[in-house]
Structure 1
Amino acid sequence: MTSTVRGEGAHVPSAPEFPMSRATGCPFDPPPALKAEQEQGALRKVRLWDGSTPWLVTRYTDQRTLLADPRISSDITRSGYPSPAPVKGSSFSFILMDDPEHARQRRMVTAPFTIRRVEAMRPAVQRIVDGLIDDMLSGPPRTDLVQAFALPVPSLVICELLGVPYSDHDFFQENSKTLISRSATPEQRGTAHGNLIGYLDELMGHKIARPADDLLSGLGTRVEAGELSRREAAEMGVLLLLAGHETTANMIALGTLALLEHPDQFALLRDTEDPKTVAGAVEELLRYLNITHTGRRRVALEDIEIAGEVIRAGEGIIVPNDIGNRDPEVFADPDRLDLRRDARRHVAFGFGVHQCLGQPLARMELQVVYSTLYRRVPTLRLDTGLEELSFKHDGSVYGVYELPVAW
């Protein structure tokens, strides 16, 4: 018998707030309250910043089932969509759209992220990584790994891919930091978004006039053909710029910190030359850390019966993949970092038609980083106490603001 009491709001007044807080001293683990919800099993309503009460889905199987269900929508403009923060403006990237428009726009930028094209970039990424490590080793034996390495690697790569001058990286990093911050006001986010749109729109004009062999020039041809407006092309450029450096940069820094806190796992990566071992380690780190920690957001288009509940049409849904990746029904001893684990079933990149477009690029970059940095700097160590680090609890992408290391 299906229970609909919770869906009808009987428990809504006591709904816990979301997002939930991580435990002090446990920066790599999802919030304890999320773990408790997963252990209870049933779906639960939570309360957001605006008082709305969407459904929270914590079990791995339920998450994949819903993310693959065509009866849920990613359209942020739909009533009931559980927005993580106040929304300002009316123009959104294709990841916040539904098919067929989502699929139409996504296809325009798929080619550069195919496995074949990404693998062709591996030697160039290796040169970037080696060059930054050379710079580190030529100076004092301590640095902030975020500024010296974790941010520059993906920034250089995505700038090259898109055709964005790296000399402008400070501008887009500062604005992107505001854009993904939950503590920023709608006005601040609107300003940051406008800054990036204006920058990409102007750059798009240059690419249309003088096309090159880069992704933005390819979008420029779509604009010329009438398939996209310049505004839509600029929106896509902002999405790719943000996704291409924010997530991977945080994964490099947080992954390194996790390894330094697990010396046996650090040694495994440091001492291996086996590409399969490195690739497996990347998957386990993605499962263990899952830096997109505010969940995938959806809204139901129809009534959906799942896990003994009924999600009604128009109700919001939050799928926090970080707790899905710690489901003991799927991953044995899930709170343990084990680089020899087969973690390929993780949902760090989401699932279904909206799963991350750039995952082949992210995987390749992380493989190059994790197979090179610790081998070349085998005595790398944290240059401060774990309790002294400042973690990004205030944004939609989790990580550390600084990572002081020495060798």
Structure 2
Amino acid sequence: MTSVPPTDTAPDTTPAEIPEFPPARSAVCPFDPSPQMRDLAQRGPLTKVRSWGESTPWVVTDHAEQKALLADARLSAKFSHPGFPSPVAPDPAHQHAGNATDLSFVGLDDPEHARLRRMVSGVFTIKRVEAMRPVVQKMTDAFIDRMLDGPNPADLVQALALPIPSLVISELLGVPYEDHAFFQSNSKDIVSAVATPETRQAAHANLAQYLDHLVSEKLTSPGDDLLSQLGEQIKAGELTRRQAVAMGVLLLLGGHETTANMITLGTLLLLQHPDQLAVVRDTDDPKVIAFAVEELLRYLSIVHLGRRRTALEDIEIAGRTIRAGEGVILLGELANRDPSVFPDPDRLDITRDARLHQAFGAGTHHCVGQPLARLELQVIYPTLFRRIPTLQVATDLKEIPFKYDAVIYGVHQLPVTW
């Protein structure tokens, strides 16, 4: 962002001057990075922070430096590195044991990361995802019908935002949708920033046991779904059963939790900007909708505690030296508000070309499911506002429970009326 980076020869900040991280978001501007987060950007592209006791990882704020580092193989995504900057309070009993297997290829480096990722990436190609558009449209209309027939006001989270991506990822994986309450509840505990380590471990164990049972069924009675494909790779010796289960947990969790939060937060934001909402509602141009979705992804950046890495060797960047073993936190919400890339970045403008945003990350670890997330958002936003043109929030903005307590930002409930 607009600041002059200090040189590596400048004196390091004293321990008392190192800011605590993460800073609390501001309830006054719940859609924006907090003032303390913006202060980090004013310190320069890279600055040290204090996180979880004596840990002092680097925070990277600028777009260019983040893009370069996310593509740098000298940064490791492995959770097991002692210097890895955990987004939640670490469990002292397992602080360096890591959960790389638990979260599959997300917590691995190439070449193993690339090998496992290829086993599922074919399902999420743009061509295959686009073929699902009529199905997602039908689902969206069905859930809106149900919401209109139900109580008014309604909670948009439970009525629409959570069910649709849950149903979509369930059908892709081969997971029974009738189990959605079980996997949604455990997923919520896993992404909580305030849950105890024991609660998160138990939630993960619940999902792993559940997916292991499903994988077992697919091994003997395969179907036309992703878990069955992973079962075939187990039989071929290309994948262990534990790896298949971990991949299932990752895709089930990521496939509904992130998109659900983006649906509700984006809807709430558009309801605060009726002029831009009207464009989304009234256009029949898919390019206009696509641009609107990219701008919402840029503006909201729901992965709000950063992407985490550990340096494998010394890295010189922006006049600083990230030493081997040091943690690095790449703040996409600040990269997406970088004025050198996005003029007037704090203004929501659904006509801007925001495709350089880093809402889905960058480099080899960019989100594998981003084509599906984009499709769901492109269908749901315009359909919701066309079907319910009088939609409005049923309470004051200050009464809405934002997810300050989670690693994925959003709202716990969104009461709406029409």
> Would you say how many aligned residue pairs link Structure 1 and Structure 2?
406
Aligned to 1:311: 322
Cα deviation, residue 9, structure 1: 5.2
The reply to whether residue 4 of structure 1 matches residue 8 of structure 2 is yes
Q: Distance in 2 between matches of 1:134 and 1:213?
A: 29
Q: Distance in 2 between matches of 1:343 and 1:42?
A: 21
TM-score if structure 1 supplies the norm length? 0.97
Aligned to 2:226: 215
Deviations 1:359-398 (A, max 9, x none): 0000000000012110111110000000001110111100
The reply to whether residue 394 of structure 1 matches residue 405 of structure 2 is yes
Q: Is the 8 A contact 1:3 1:310 kept in 2?
A: no
Aligned to 2:87: 84
* Alignment partner of 1:165 out of 176, 179, 182: 176
Cα deviation, residue 10, structure 1: 4.3
Aligned to 2:290: 279
Deviations 1:249-272 (A, max 9, x none): 000000000000111111111111
Q: Distance in 1 between matches of 2:15 and 2:216?
A: 50
Q: Distance in 2 between matches of 1:22 and 1:248?
A: 21
Moved segments of 4+, more than 4 Å? 87-90
* Alignment partner of 1:183 out of 191, 194, 215: 194
Q: Distance in 2 between matches of 1:115 and 1:139?
A: 35
Aligned to 1:66: 69
SS in 2 for 1:200: helix
Aligned to 1:36: 39
Aligned to 1:243: 254
Q: Is the 8 A contact 1:12 1:46 kept in 2?
A: no
Q: Is the 8 A contact 2:147 2:159 kept in 1?
A: yes
Q: Distance in 2 between matches of 1:194 and 1:72?
A: 29
Cα deviation, residue 226, structure 1: 1.3
Deviates more, 1:17-26 or 1:294-303: 17-26
Structure 2, unaligned stretches of length 5 or more? none
Q: Distance in 1 between matches of 2:35 and 2:24?
A: 8
Aligned to 2:60: 57
Aligned to 1:382: 393
Aligned to 1:337: 348
* Alignment partner of 2:114 out of 103, 110, 129: 103
Q: Distance in 1 between matches of 2:137 and 2:16?
A: 53
Structure 1, unaligned stretches of length 5 or more? none
Aligned to 1:145: 156
SS in 2 for 1:205: helix
Supply the AA of the counterpart residue of 1:114.
Answer: T
Q: Is the 8 A contact 1:128 1:153 kept in 2?
A: yes
Deviates more, 1:221-230 or 1:10-19: 10-19
Cα deviation, residue 329, structure 1: 0.9
Identical positions, percent: 60
Q: Is the 8 A contact 1:81 1:315 kept in 2?
A: yes
- 5 Å-filtered alignment, 1:329-368, equals 329-368=340-379
Supply the AA of the counterpart residue of 2:171.
Answer: E
Supply the AA of the counterpart residue of 1:332.
Answer: P
The reply to whether residue 293 of structure 1 matches residue 304 of structure 2 is yes
Q: Distance in 2 between matches of 1:65 and 1:116?
A: 28
Deviations 1:195-224 (A, max 9, x none): 000000011000111000000000011111
Deviations 1:309-355 (A, max 9, x none): 11111110000101110011110110111100110100000000000
SS in 1 for 2:27: coil
Cα deviation, residue 36, structure 1: 1.9
SS in 1 for 2:120: coil
Cα deviation, residue 12, structure 1: 3.6
Distance 1:2 1:369, change over 3 A: closer
The reply to whether residue 174 of structure 1 matches residue 185 of structure 2 is yes
Aligned to 2:50: 47
Q: Distance in 2 between matches of 1:177 and 1:369?
A: 22
SS in 2 for 1:110: helix
Cα deviation, residue 5, structure 1: 5.2
Q: Distance in 1 between matches of 2:361 and 2:395?
A: 34
Q: Is the 8 A contact 2:45 2:65 kept in 1?
A: no
Distance 1:84 1:5, change over 3 A: farther
Cα deviation, residue 174, structure 1: 0.5
Q: Is the 8 A contact 2:167 2:177 kept in 1?
A: yes
Aligned to 1:134: 145
Q: Is the 8 A contact 1:273 1:371 kept in 2?
A: no
Cα deviation, residue 142, structure 1: 2.1
Supply the AA of the counterpart residue of 1:55.
Answer: W
Cα deviation, residue 11, structure 1: 3.0
Deviates more, 1:58-67 or 1:82-91: 82-91
Q: Distance in 2 between matches of 1:272 and 1:108?
A: 38
Q: Distance in 1 between matches of 2:213 and 2:136?
A: 27
Aligned-residue RMSD, C-alpha: 1.4
